[in-house]
């Protein structure tokens, strides 16, 4: 099993190219099931989760062409078998995103129920209730969600109990082929949903309000093919910026979108970073030891849960004490134990972590538990004294394209070992 060996103490500097967003690319790939025509997606990151989604589309019967320049072409003709098996869904929860498009286009789908995961129970009840409101008969049987509708889905007014990113995406896609108008209330506002709506509009859908908490969709009889470039990964961007802040570095993230990172940039400025931005770049310079920052994770546009672990690592070496409250997932503090093994002083009480900054961390073998947790360990290792071995880094390969190449290019001493 691959591990990362990192020698701490290097100041990061230089330019890093930000990849297309994993969390945008996954629903975009699922949306290609809504038409029999060819959908071409460019700026697709090369990541394990993307491979899983591509395998799933292939298993469903879609023709797929991947070229070496990060583009994927999907043609989901009429030979689709609307069955997403457990072997693939268990690898990646986002597989549930094929449910809405399949029922909307083919009138029936069986998708394995995703299990629990490291960061929380993550039910899909809101996805199911939404489809039921649109007239589908949905049963959970033998570990599968089985959704059926006679004729077409019917437009409906759907009120989410909480803003759910995946739930909003699933129902937004389904609504595009429903009969009449669908209104999604208390919808999630994440940039990945805006990117999905952009693709759907290019496919001929009529959507208003994506990026707000109320999205209106006028269903169409059919959609057509198109080409679309995946939006930049705001979480990858934020992760490299934190790396620069922790190492007192000076880096520029290229091909990114500063406007999608307001809450994160604000906290980096509070920590003492000097930040300048252009249309598609962000430069961060940090002279001194960071100041600890406090925040609570919340749906977009507030501070993202996907950046919580990385800021925990930053606080671990900051001056002062920072309080972090996780409100999205019930079990997203698994990195705390591992950061403490590196010498951090973090105390957890329920959903609150209090981080008392220490001047230095010391290298130790540590274990990654999920995607963002693994990044927090890599960040801590970049400033720890000595060589840290981060185990189980398959988690990081799910969401960070070429992580060691990118960090090495910025001056980090990092290598992959067996
Ligand atoms: N929830 C329910 N019922 C539902 C759906 C969600 O109770 O039917 C709850 C969840 O358990 C959670 C909260 O609502 O407590 C928010 O979950 P959401 O549905 O928004 O999350 P998701 O769609 O499963 C996506 C990202 C996550 C990111 C969250 C929150 C993808 C593929 N995943 O997950 O990304 O943390 O939104 O922003 O887009 C990551 O990239 O590391 C990652 C975990």
The structure tokens listed for 115 are 């299990």
Distance 389 CA to ligand 1 centre (A): 29
**Does the CB atom of residue 126 touch ligand 1 within 6 A?**
yes
Residue ID of nearest Cα to ligand 1 atom 23: 166
Distance 199 CA to ligand 1 centre (A): 21
pLDDT tens by residue, 21-79: 999 999 999 999 999 999 999 999 999 999 999 999 999 999 999 987 789 999 999 88
pLDDT at 103: 98
Mean pLDDT of 277-289: 97
Q: Which residues contact 51 (CB under 8 A, 6 or more apart)?
A: none
**Does the CB atom of residue 164 touch ligand 1 within 6 A?**
yes
pLDDT at 117: 67
Q: What is the Cα–Cα distance from 241 to 313, expressed in whole angstroms?
A: 13
**Does the CB atom of residue 305 touch ligand 1 within 6 A?**
yes
pLDDT at 115: 66
Catalytic residue among 70, 117, 214, 253: 117
**CA 292, 298, 303, 306 torsion-angle sign:** positive
The percent of residues in the chain predicted with pLDDT above 70, rounded, is 99
Q: What is the Cα–Cα distance from 54 to 72, expressed in whole angstroms?
A: 9
Contact (Cβ atoms closer than 8 angstroms) between residue 136 and residue 153: yes
**Count of residues for the chain?**
418
pLDDT tens by residue, 249-261: 999 999 999 999 9
pLDDT tens by residue, 65-116: 998 778 999 999 988 999 999 998 988 999 999 999 999 999 999 999 886 6
Which residues make beta-bridge pairs with 349?
352
Q: How far is CA 355 from CA 185, 306, 313, 338, in A?
A: 37, 18, 9, 14
Q: Is the pLDDT of residue 201 over 80?
A: yes
Mean pLDDT of 252-274: 98
Q: What is the Cα–Cα distance from 276 to 315, expressed in whole angstroms?
A: 22
Mean pLDDT of 369-378: 95
**Does the CB atom of residue 373 touch ligand 1 within 6 A?**
no
The structure tokens listed for 43 are 């700026």
**Does the CB atom of residue 28 touch ligand 1 within 6 A?**
no
Q: Is the pLDDT of residue 382 over 90?
A: yes
Q: Is 176 a catalytic site residue?
A: no
Please tell me whether residue 402 adopts helix, strand or coil conformation. coil
* pLDDT interval class at 194 (50, 70, 90): very high
Ligand 1 atom nearest 305 alpha carbon:
36
Q: What is the Cα–Cα distance from 88 to 413, expressed in whole angstroms?
A: 35
Residue 154 DSSP symbol: B
Contact (Cβ atoms closer than 8 angstroms) between residue 12 and residue 412: yes
Mean pLDDT of 113-136: 87
CA 392 to chain centre: 19
Could you tell which of 20, 22, 23, 330 is best to mutate to test the pocket of ligand 1, judged by most ligand atoms within 8 Å of the CB? 23
Beta strands in 299-401 (DSSP E): 321-325, 345-349, 352-356, 365-367, 387-391
Q: Where is 308: in which H helix or E strand?
A: helix 308-316
Cis upstream peptide for 301 (omega within 30°): yes
Q: 12: alpha, beta or left, given left = phi > 0 and alpha = psi -120 to 50?
A: beta
**Does the CB atom of residue 328 touch ligand 1 within 6 A?**
yes
The structure tokens listed for 413 are 């001493």
Q: What is the Cα–Cα distance from 412 to 374, expressed in whole angstroms?
A: 16
* pLDDT interval class at 226 (50, 70, 90): very high
Contact (Cβ atoms closer than 8 angstroms) between residue 163 and residue 213: yes
* pLDDT interval class at 119 (50, 70, 90): confident
**Does the CB atom of residue 233 touch ligand 1 within 6 A?**
no
pLDDT at 234: 98
Ligand 1 atom nearest 23 alpha carbon:
39
**Does the CB atom of residue 120 touch ligand 1 within 6 A?**
yes
Please tell me whether residue 381 adopts helix, strand or coil conformation. helix
What does DSSP say about strands 181-185 and 108-112: parallel, antiparallel, or unpaired? unpaired
Mean pLDDT of the chain: 96
Q: Is the pLDDT of residue 120 over 80?
A: no
Which residues make beta-bridge pairs with 325?
296, 352
Residue ID of nearest Cα to ligand 1 atom 35: 306
Which residues make beta-bridge pairs with 216?
183, 208
* pLDDT interval class at 242 (50, 70, 90): very high
Q: 232: alpha, beta or left, given left = phi > 0 and alpha = psi -120 to 50?
A: beta
The percent of residues in the chain predicted with pLDDT above 90, rounded, is 92
* pLDDT interval class at 122 (50, 70, 90): confident
pLDDT at 116: 61
Could you tell which of 25, 97, 99, 166 is best to mutate to test the pocket of ligand 1, judged by most ligand atoms within 8 Å of the CB? 166
pLDDT tens by residue, 133-163: 999 999 999 999 999 999 999 999 999 999 9
Ligand 1 atom nearest 399 alpha carbon:
41
The structure tokens listed for 388 are 């840290």
């Amino acid at each position: 099993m691959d591990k990362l060996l990192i020698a701490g103490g290097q100041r990061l500097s230089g330019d890093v190219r930000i990849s297309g967003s994993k969390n945008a690319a996954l629903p975009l790939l699922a949306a290609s099931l809504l038409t029999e025509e060819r959908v071409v997606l460019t700026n697709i990151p090369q990541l394990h989760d993307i491979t899983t989604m591509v395998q799933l589309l292939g298993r469903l019967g879609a023709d797929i062409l991947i070229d070496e320049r990060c583009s994927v072409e999907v043609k989901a003709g009429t030979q689709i078998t609307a069955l997403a098996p457990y072997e693939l869904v268990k690898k990646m929860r986002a597989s549930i995103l094929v449910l809405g498009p399949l029922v909307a286009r083919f009138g029936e789908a069986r998708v394995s129920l995703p299990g629990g995961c490291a960061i929380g129970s993550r039910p899909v009840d809101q996805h199911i209730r939404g489809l039921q409101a649109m007239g589908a008969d949905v049963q959970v049987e033998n570990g599968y969600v089985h959704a059926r509708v006679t004729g077409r889905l019917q437009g409906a007014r759907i009120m989410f109990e909480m803003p759910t990113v995946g739930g909003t995406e699933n129902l937004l896609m389904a609504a595009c082929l429903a009969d009449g108008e669908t209104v999604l209330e208390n919808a999630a506002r994440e940039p990945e949903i805006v990117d999905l709506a952009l693709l759907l509009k290019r496919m001929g859908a009529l959507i208003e309000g994506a990026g707000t908490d109320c999205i209106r969709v006028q269903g169409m009889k059919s959609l057509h093919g198109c080409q679309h470039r995946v939006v930049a990964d705001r979480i990858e961007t934020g992760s490299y910026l934190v790396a620069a802040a922790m190492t007192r570095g000076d880096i520029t993230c290229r091909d990114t979108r500063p406007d999608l990172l307001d809450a994160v940039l604000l906290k980096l400025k509070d920590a003492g970073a000097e930040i300048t931005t252009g249309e598609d770049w962000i430069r961060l310079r940090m002279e001194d030891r960071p100041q600890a920052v406090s925040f609570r994770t919340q749906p977009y546009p507030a501070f993202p849960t996907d950046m919580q672990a990385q800021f925990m690592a930053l606080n671990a070496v900051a001056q002062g004490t920072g309080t972090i409250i996780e409100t999205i997932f019930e079990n997203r503090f698994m990195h705390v134990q591992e950061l403490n093994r590196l010498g951090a002083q973090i105390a957890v009480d329920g959903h609150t972590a209090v981080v008392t900054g220490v001047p230095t961390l010391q290298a130790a073998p540590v274990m990654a538990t999920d995607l963002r947790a693994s990044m927090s360990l890599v960040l801590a290792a970049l400033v720890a004294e000595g060589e840290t071995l981060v185990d189980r880094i398959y988690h990081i390969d799910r969401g960070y394209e070429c992580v060691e190449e990118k960090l090495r290019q910025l001056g980090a001493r990092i290598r992959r070992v067996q």
